Amino acid sequence: MTAAAPTAAAVPGRRGAKNTRRKVLFVFGAALAVVLGLAVIAIALAKPEPDEPQCPPEDAVCGQPPRNDAPPLVSGILWRSASTGVQMEYYPRLWKVVEQDDTNLKLSLSIPGRSDIDLFLWVRAAPAGPKLPGELAEQRVSDLREDILGLEEDTDPKHALLGPSIGYVDADVGAAYAGATDTPQGPGKPVSVLLMAATDGRASVVVSAASTFSDRHIFGLADSLLNTLRWPSQPVPR
Amino acid sequence: MTSEAPRTTISCPDCGFEVPALPYCVRCGEWLADDLASHPTARRGFGAAPNESRFAPKLSTLFPQLPRNEMDTFQLALGAGVLVLLALSIGRLFPLALVAAAVLTPLLLILYLWEVDLYEDEPLNVLGLTIAWGAVAGVAMGFLSKAVVDVDAGFVAERTGTTVVLLGLVLPLVSVALMLAGPLVLLPYRKFNDVLDGATFGAAAAVTFVGAELLTHASAYLAGGLRPVGLIVPWTLRVVALGIVIPVLAAGAVGGAAGSLWLRYRAPARDRRALGLLGNPAVAVPLAGALLVAGAFVQLYTREWLQLALLAVIALAALLWLRNVIDVGLRQESAEIEIGPPVACANCGKDTPRHTFCASCGVSLQALPKSTRPPRRPGPAPPEAA
C-alpha cells in the first residue's frame, strides 16, 4: 500500500472546522431568532381584539334563563330517541342532519350564502342509570379530541358558559373548550366548543356545539335549538 | 490486499478497476483491506459516510456532501432546533412552535447548501428553482388547500368521502408534482448531471414546500394570539411531526423520485438500472406520491403517539430510499473519471488521489465545488439544455 504524493492541493472552498462550526451555529441561531421575533410581532399585530363577555362574570342573574333571540321553530322536524324518551325539533332550512340514530343526533348549521358561518351540534341521549352526565361529558371530550387538535377547557371568564341548561333542565356539567382543526396540510382554524350534560332522572343527555366562527354569538342558535329538547319527564307539546 | 506483498495498485473487487492500493477504492468507495472486521460497518458503507451503513437512515442522507467533522455541527443545530420546538410547545406558545417547525428544516438545508458551496457558480438558478420554487409553490398550495376544502366545524362533524379524497389523496399528489416541477427545470443542464444533484434539488424543494404550505395553511391559527388554549402533549407531538418527521418524509420521497429521474436521464447507461425498480421514474414518482398519500392518511385517521410513530416509519422508509439513490449516484461517475493528482480530503484532511472517494476515509469527494472536480473522459453526453 502506498501513500498518495505529499504535494496535495488545497481544497478550494473549505474552511477551518472550528470557524465553520461557530459560523453555522451562529447563522442558524440568528436566523431562527429573527424568524421567531418577526413571528411574535406578526402574531401580536394580527391578534383580534378581546371579545366582550355577553354577561359580566360577577352578575349571577345575567344568562339565566338562556337568551333566545333566534326565530322560533314553528314546524321543525322531530327527532325522537325511542330508548330514552328524549326528543328534539330542528328546522331543516337551517340545520342539515349529519348523522342520526336512536341515541345520537348530529346537526350542522347550513345557512344559504353564508358558508363562513359554521356550527356543529351533537346530541346524545342515554338512559339515566348506567351513565351519569359527568361520564357522558368526559366521553364526549375524548371523542372530540380525536378530531380537534389540543382540545382543552377554556377557563377564560369571557368565554364562560353561564347558566347551562338543556331543554330547561339545569346542566350538571357546562364548560367551554378550545382547540384547532387539523389536516395533513397542518393545523387550521381555532375551534370553540361548548359542552353541557344534564339529567332529569330518567335520561341523561350530553350536548356539544363546535364552531370556528369568530363571533361566539353563533352559539345562540344552538341554544335556541336546545330549548326544543323535551325530556321523558316533561309533557310532550302537541 | 495483503501486507506481505506491498503493491501500488489493486483490482477492486466491487467495481473491477485497477485502483491505488489504499484502504478505500477511489472509484467506488469499496473497503479494500482484507480484514473486514476492522471496517467500521464490516461491509461497504454509505458513499457519503463510509463509517455508516447504507441501510441506516441517518442525517448524512439529507446532508450527503458534508464532511464528517461538519456533520456534528448540523446535528448540533438540528438538536438545538428540536429543543426550541419542545420549549415553545411546553411553554404553550403553539403558534410560535408552528412557525419554528415550518422554518427549522428549510433553514438547515439552506445552511447546508451554503456551507458545501456546491453550486457556487450557479446559485441563482439552483436556489431559485429549489428553495424559492418550493416556498412559492408551498404558499400557493396552502391557499389552494384552504380554498378547495374549507375545514371548519363541519370537518369535525363529518368527513365525507370527497373531503378525505381531497385532503388525503389529491392534494398530496398535486404537492408531489409541484415539488418536482422546479427541480425538473434543472434536469437538462449538463452541469447538474449527477444523481446527487437531482436528489439534493428534490429534497430542498420538498422541505421548503412543506414549510411554506404549513405556514400558509396555519395562518388562521397564527392570527389567534401567542398563547391560545390547548393541551401541551398533543401539540408537542404534532409540532415535532410537522417540523421534523414530515419534512424528512417529503425530502426522502421527492429526493428519491428526483434522483431516479436524474439516474434515468443523466447517468451513464450502465448505471440506469443500478437501483432496480426504485430507480425507474415510472415507479419512483408514483412511489413518492404513495408515500405522501400514506402520510396524509395517517394524519387523517390517527392522533398523537400513534400518528407520530407511523409517520416516523414512513419517513424512515423514504429516507432509506433516498440514501440508496444517493449511494448509487455517488458511484455513478467513477468509470468516466481519470485518477487525478493528490488533493487533501475535506473530511479526514489526508492526501488522496483525486477521484470519486477519499482513499483514506472513503468519503465521497463530491463535496468539492464542481469546478475543482477531475474532468470526465470525452464521450457521448446527454444533450445540453437550449
Residue whose cell numbers read 366521553: A139
Record: contact B341-A5, CB cut-off 8 A: yes
What is the DSSP secondary structure assignment for residue B357, as one 8-state letter?
B
Can you state the angle between helices A17-46 and B68-90, rounded to 10 degrees? 20
pLDDT in tens, B95-110: 999 999 999 999 999 8
Element (H, E) at A45: helix A17-46
Query: How many other CB atoms are found less than 10 A from the CB of residue B220?
Result: 18
- Give dist(CA A164, CA A92) in Å, integer: 25
- Give the pLDDT confidence score for residue B3 in this predicted structure: 46
Residue B273 has pLDDT above 90, yes or no: no
How far is residue B100 from each of residues A23, A69, B104, B105, measured CA to CA in Å? Answer: 20, 44, 6, 9
pLDDT above 70: percentage of residues in chain A? 79
pLDDT in tens, A90-136: 988 889 998 899 999 999 988 888 878 889 999 999 998 767 889 99
- Give dist(CA B88, CA B95) in Å, integer: 9
pLDDT in tens, B178-200: 999 999 998 988 888 788 888 99
- Give dist(CA A10, CA B345) in Å, integer: 9
- Give dist(CA B286, CA B282) in Å, integer: 7
Record: contact B226-A186, CB cut-off 8 A: no
Q: How confident is the model at residue B71 (pLDDT cuts 50, 70, 90)?
A: confident
> Who among A11, A42, A151 is closest to B346 (CB)?
A11
The average pLDDT across A78-82 equals 91
- Give the pLDDT confidence score for residue B24 in this predicted structure: 82
pLDDT in tens, B201-218: 999 999 999 999 999 999
Tell whether B224 lies on the interface with A, counting CB pairs under 8 A.
Answer: yes
Tell whether B223 lies on the interface with A, counting CB pairs under 8 A.
Answer: yes
What is the SS3 assignment for A14? Answer: coil
pLDDT in tens, A152-208: 999 988 888 888 889 888 999 999 999 999 999 999 999 999 999 999 888 999 999
- Give the pLDDT confidence score for residue B314 in this predicted structure: 97
pLDDT in tens, B285-316: 999 999 999 999 999 999 999 999 999 999 99
Tell whether B291 lies on the interface with A, counting CB pairs under 8 A.
Answer: no
- Give the pLDDT confidence score for residue B43 in this predicted structure: 62
pLDDT in tens, B38-69: 555 556 677 777 777 878 888 888 888 777 67
> Which residues, listed in sequence order, are joined to residue B11 by a DSSP beta bridge?
B18
End-to-end CA distance of chain B: 48
Looking at chain B from residue 158 to 217, which residues have their Cβ under 8 Å from any Cβ of chain A? 158, 167-168, 171-172, 213-214, 217
- Give the pLDDT confidence score for residue A129 in this predicted structure: 76
- The region that residue A13 occupies, defined by phi over 0 for left and psi between -120 and 50 for alpha, beta otherwise, is left
* The three cell numbers locating residue B245: 418527521
Distance between alpha carbon A119 and the CA centroid of its chain, in Å? 10
Record: contact B120-A28, CB cut-off 8 A: no
Tell whether B157 lies on the interface with A, counting CB pairs under 8 A.
Answer: yes
- Burial grade of A182 (CB within 10 A; 0-12, 13-18, 19 or more): buried
Residue B116 has pLDDT above 80, yes or no: no
What pTM was estimated for this model as a whole? 0.83
Residue B220 has pLDDT above 80, yes or no: yes
Residue whose cell numbers read 473522459: B377
Nearest CA in chain B to A214: B224
Q: Quickly list H helices, chain B.
A: 68-90, 94-116, 123-127, 133-148, 153-157, 161-165, 171-185, 195-217, 219-222, 232-240, 246-265, 281-301, 304-332
Q: What is the ipTM of this complex?
A: 0.81
Chain A partners within 8 Å of B155 (Cβ): 147, 181, 183
Chain A partners within 8 Å of B7 (Cβ): 1
Angle among Cα A37, A41, A42 to the nearest 5 degrees reads: 115
What is the SS3 assignment for A8? Answer: coil
What is the SS3 assignment for B68? Answer: helix
Between the CA atoms of B236, B238, B241 and B242, what dihedral angle is there, to the nearest 10 degrees?
-110
* The three cell numbers locating residue A193: 366548543
Q: How confident is the model at residue A63 (pLDDT cuts 50, 70, 90)?
A: low
Considering B27-31, B72-76, B206-210, B274-278, the range whose residues carry the highest mean pLDDT is B206-210
* The three cell numbers locating residue B229: 388554549
Query: A127-145: b or e for each residue (b if 16 or more CB lie within 10 Å)?
Result: bbeebbbeebbeebbebbb
Q: How confident is the model at residue B380 (pLDDT cuts 50, 70, 90)?
A: very low
Mean pLDDT of chain A: 82
Close Cβ partners of B111 (under 8 Å, ≥ 6 residues apart)? A24, A27, A28, A31, B74, B77
Chain B partners within 8 Å of A37 (Cβ): none
pLDDT in tens, A49-58: 766 666 666 6
- Give the pLDDT confidence score for residue B354 in this predicted structure: 84
The average pLDDT across A78-87 equals 91
Residue whose cell numbers read 498518495: A4
More confident residue, B332 or A29: A29
Tell whether B225 lies on the interface with A, counting CB pairs under 8 A.
Answer: yes
Tell whether B238 lies on the interface with A, counting CB pairs under 8 A.
Answer: yes
- Give the pLDDT confidence score for residue B237 in this predicted structure: 97
> Which residues, listed in sequence order, are joined to residue A180 by a DSSP beta bridge?
A149, A190
More confident residue, B46 or B121: B46
The dihedral built from the CA positions of residue B129, B131, B132 and B138, taken in this order, carries a sign that is positive
